[in-house]
Amino acid sequence: MTATRTQDVAATIRQVELLEEAGADVIRIAVDNPKDVAALAEIRRARPRANLSIDLQENYRLAERVAPFVQKLRYNPGHLHHIEREKPIHEKVRYLVNVARAHGCAMRIGVNAGSVDPAKLAKYAHDHSITPMVESALDHCAMLDDLGFDQYCVSLKDSDPNKVIDANVLFADARPDVPLHLGVTEAGMPPDGVIKTRVAFEQLITRGIGDTIRVSLTLPFENKGEEVTIGRRILDDIAGGRFRSVPRFEQHGMNIISCPSCSRVENEAFIDLAQNVRSMTEYAKEHDITIAVMGCRVNGPGETDDADLGMWCAPSFVNLKRGPQTIGQFTYDEILGRLRVELDKLIEEKTVSSRV
Ligand code: SF4
């Protein structure tokens, strides 16, 4: 997936080139507003042979404007309620199917742990996060089936590889006929992000689950092709019987999750921030603590809720959270110092409670 702002046409074309050169079969670009659509048209003109999938973020009505330029439309069931709230979801899905049909596009139902349909989430306890994801995917498959549309695949992504495994196994059991696109979202930086992804892919692909993959890593823009080469290396290793994973991914010590960036990223400085968080927290690497670093205000707030400490990045400041509670907003210069204060507090509390 391109990590740059889609409206930065030159930078996004460069991303497409890098991904194509690295061997990507499908390249996803996010589109959120009419200016992104205009940029997409230019990107398509510059890369006429690229196999493009479009990420319809909150604004599903853009589908009819982007479909002429792309091969696939990806929608997130959890985002369909954002606009035209009074309109039933199945009508929105019908609209998407009609657009896809009219333009010969495939579709992906892309379910993400951080943005699951609120109606599904409300039915289950917070620590029961896989069921709402799988249920949401199954419901949307049923809607597409009812509409007689079969050119679709599903993805069920989480930043925890164990949840990715469990959700995909559950889904594949219920719908073995539906192709699955695999990925660990916000896996973070190499090498941890690669290990998490490898564990999930090894566990799923060896069970015959998965048809396409995406590796999501926080990388400098110019290195984005590594997502593809790493993904192909993992596939080669699996095909060659070279496995590295244990049956479950056991997370011990500091766990830093960070998003791979996309067109919504609000300040590229977040990539440096993620790397600096890793260096700064080195002193606490033995503690079982999860810190999340996310690139934007749209998915950042939700995707950081499950972390012990979370940051989501705005253009000129960073929002710091502890679990779902907001601590405050800090400049990019201030944030590391403030994170350290909160981390020390957390370690102290955990140490005290372990003594009780
Ligand atoms: S958190 Fe925001 S910037 Fe990062 S990948 Fe998700 S949508 Fe894109």
The residue among 214, 239, 264 that closes a domain is 239
CATH number assigned to the domain comprising residue 273: 3.30.413.10
pLDDT at 122 over 60: yes
Give the pLDDT confidence of 130-158 residue by residue, as tens digits: 999 999 999 999 999 999 999 999 999 99
Q: How far apart are CA 272 and CA 153, in angstroms?
A: 34
Residue 212 in domain: yes
Query: How many domains does the structure of the chain reveal?
Result: 2
| Same-domain pairing of 184 and 125 | yes
- Looking at residue 9, its pLDDT comes to 97
Are 37 and 183 in the same domain? Answer: yes
Counting atoms of ligand 1 from 1, which one is nearest the CA of 259? Answer: 4
Give 295 Cα–ligand 1 centroid separation in angstroms.
5
Asked if 155 and 206 sit in the same domain, the reply is yes
Burial annotation 29-64 (CB, 10 A radius, 16+ → b, else e) = bbbbeeebbebbebbbeebeebebbbbbbbbbebbe
Residue 231 shares a structural domain with residue 297: no
Query: Average pLDDT of the chain?
Result: 93
**Between 243 and 107, whose confidence is greater?**
107
Tell me which residue of 160, 180, 158, 184 sits closest to 169, measured CA to CA.
180
- pLDDT tens-place string over residues 208-260: 999 999 999 999 999 999 999 999 999 999 998 887 765 455 667 899 999 88
Both 190 and 274 in one domain: the answer is no
User: Could you tell which of 262, 293, 305, 306 is best to mutate to test the pocket of ligand 1, judged by most ligand atoms within 8 Å of the CB?
Assistant: 262
Closest residue by Cα to atom 5, ligand 1, is: 261
pLDDT band, residue 55 (cuts 50/70/90) = very high
Asked if residue 168 belongs to a domain, the reply is yes
Residue whose Cα lies nearest atom 2 of ligand 1: it is 296
Assign 121 a pLDDT band (cuts: 50, 70, 90). Answer: confident
Q: How confident is the model at residue 185 (pLDDT cuts 50, 70, 90)?
A: very high
303, pLDDT greater than 90? no
The Cα–Cα gap between 162 and 290 comes to 15
| Nearest ligand 1 atom, CA 262 | 8
Whether residues 35 and 182 fall in one domain: yes
Q: What sign has the CA pseudo-torsion 224, 225, 226, 230?
A: positive
pLDDT band of 163, cuts 50, 70, 90: very high
* DSSP tag of 187: B
Q: Is residue 74 part of a domain?
A: yes
Domain containing 173 — which CATH number? 3.20.20.20
CB of 157 closer than 8 Å to CB of 113: yes
Residue nearest to atom 6 of ligand 1 (CA): 299
Does a structural domain hold residue 248?
Answer: no
Domain of residue 310 covers: 255-355
Distance CA 33, CA 30 (A): 10
Instruction: Evaluate whether residue 244 is within a structural domain.
Output: no
Same-domain status, 262 and 235: no
Cβ neighbours of residue 288 under 8 Å, at least 6 residues apart?
A: 251, 252, 253, 254, 255, 350
Q: Which pLDDT belongs to residue 249? A: 57
Ligand 1 pocket by Cβ (under 6 Å): 259-262, 264-265, 294-296, 298-300, 303
